[in-house]
Amino acid sequence: MFRLGRLDELLAGGQLDSLFQSLGRFSEKLTVLGAQSRGETVTTHSSRPAPAAIFQRLWEARSIGNVLTGLLKDRRFEFSVERAVFLTVLHRLFAPGSDRAAEKWKDGYRIDGADALDLHHLYRAMAWLGEELPEDQQDGATPFAPRTNKDLIEEELFARRKDLFSDLDLVFFDTTSIYFEGEGGETIGQRGHSKDHRPDLKQMVVGMVLDHNGDPICSELWPGNTADVKSLVPVVERLKKRFGIGSVCIVADRGMISAETLAELEKRKWHYILGVRMRSSNEAKAVVARGGRYSEVHPKTGDPDDPSPLKVKEVWVEDTRRYVVCVNEDQATKDRHDRDAVVASLRDALGRGDKSLVGNKGYRKYIRAGGKQFAVDEDKIKAEARYDGKWVLTTNTDLPAHEVALKYKQLWMVEEIFRSMKSLLDTRPIFHKRDKTIRGHVFCSFLALLLRKELENRLARKGWKLEWDHVIRDLDSVVEMEVAVNGKGYVFRGQNIGVAGKVFQACGVAMPPVLRQSS
């Protein structure tokens, strides 16, 4: 044992600091931390390692890299197309924007194999993804979209995990429109019904097909003047050819279906679960008004983690057309309160004689014109109350009414994915001028959604329900700094905050060490 003296005397004389400094020569960590605190280190570079570390693992787990490499084996590119696609997908997840932005964004991240990539490499990779296949491989193309390399990728990805399915017998299908501020390619950018409320701009239509687990199966891209109701039948025919589907049950929103499309589904004997526009047909209105007892699917509870309350009842019309009326009591309460607020505001506006507010869309449905004056339409208020918290489905399946309702509710996850895709496709103005590069650009958003769903599945298996914004923010906050101390290079990781540690754990990836010697 060696006596160093009294602690108070060592502290007073500053000898303790000198002692630790001398001992620190035998510990690299203490050397770096001590030099950092004294301002003696030189930071030469900083980067974010977590995004690539996590999503590279998921990229490998879904075999995306292997599939791309296999399809590229006979092509002679002077750069790694697989790395260019991975970079674009990663950028889409963390900082949605154009490929021009991706090329600059990568400089702040540690992404294996991406350092040598330039902007023209990203453009060429997008063009390869959207490149049309030879004429003898166009079997299954739709009248509005040819088969391309991205189709081969989707089909191979599905084949590699097909053992997870008993059968792809239930598919969810929905579309959205995305507008261009530029020309919109050679043929894809067209004017049509804009869900973005920008009929003045050219647009494209993006479709998405999901399986019963909510996993994206494939994406479709059509010119912007393609009507939804004309795309459903060709898309399902294409699915049957591409993925070997025997029987199929289509779950789609009410906006996807016309009387002509419904007749075609019946003719082909395809099963369907479809939303119905409750206010647009006399038959639908009669179905809503029909009496009958509801069956409880999910009771109302006070636990926010429980499923939303749900009741259903079955209604047959002429013993041939089957409807399922669904009601959510929580939504009914919200609908009633929202309507009461609008009507109260309308009464106040009319009481002040403020006719300029009558043009408000929210007010319009509750106004009755009477001579020179406007009045509140009390009958309309009562009529609207019948629809509170309700939605109506039509189906030709033999599924029990409660299963029909639950299957349709799964379609809402498609809508959530499209909301995600809107942000992932936040690329305006789109700089691509050719159809094939636009197709490739959109397909990278599909791959981004595939990785996002894989991560969410892994978090769910751990019992963790994490906000996606928090996941992206906290992974992006993991920073490594390369520092020089006494002629040696070290990499120092900053503080791990938020949910980043849980994400690393769920993916089976080791968190970068706090300190390591640079290579």
Q: Are residues 378 and 403 located together in one domain of the fold? A: no
Identify each DSSP E strand in 60-129 by its residue range: none
pLDDT at residue 506, as a whole number:
96
Q: Is residue 163 part of a domain?
A: no
Query: What distance, in Å, lies between the first and last C-alpha atoms of the chain?
Result: 40
pLDDT at residue 5, as a whole number:
58
pLDDT at residue 26, as a whole number:
45
pLDDT at residue 23, as a whole number:
46
Q: pLDDT, tens digit, for every residue of 268-325?
A: 888 888 888 888 788 888 999 888 899 999 898 877 777 889 999 999 999 888 999 9
Q: Is residue 207 part of a domain?
A: yes
Q: Are residues 287 and 414 located together in one domain of the fold? A: yes
Q: Are residues 377 and 399 located together in one domain of the fold? A: no
Positions in the chain short of pLDDT 50: 16, 19-20, 23-24, 26, 165-166, 427-429
- Find all residues with CB under 8 Å of 129, minimum gap 6, and list them: 85, 148, 149, 150, 153, 436, 439, 440, 443, 444
Structural domain of 367: 331-385
Q: Is 96 helix (H, G, I), strand (E, B) or coil?
A: coil
Count of CB atoms situated within 10 Å of the CB of 435: 23
- Find all residues with CB under 8 Å of 152, minimum gap 6, and list them: 71, 133
DSSP conformation letters of 451-513:
HHHHHHHHHHHTT----HHHHHHHHHT--EEEEEETTEEEEEE----TTHHHHHHHHT-PPPP
Report whether 325 contacts 276 (CB < 8 A): no
Q: Are residues 267 and 179 located together in one domain of the fold? A: yes
Q: Are residues 233 and 292 located together in one domain of the fold? A: yes
Q: Is residue 1 part of a domain?
A: no
- Look at the chain and report how many structural domains it folds into: 3
Beta bridge partners of 176: 206
Distance CA 242, CA 236 (A): 10
Q: Is residue 365 part of a domain?
A: yes
Distance CA 410, CA 420 (A): 16
Alpha-carbon torsion, ordered 386, 388, 389, 394, to 10 deg? 40
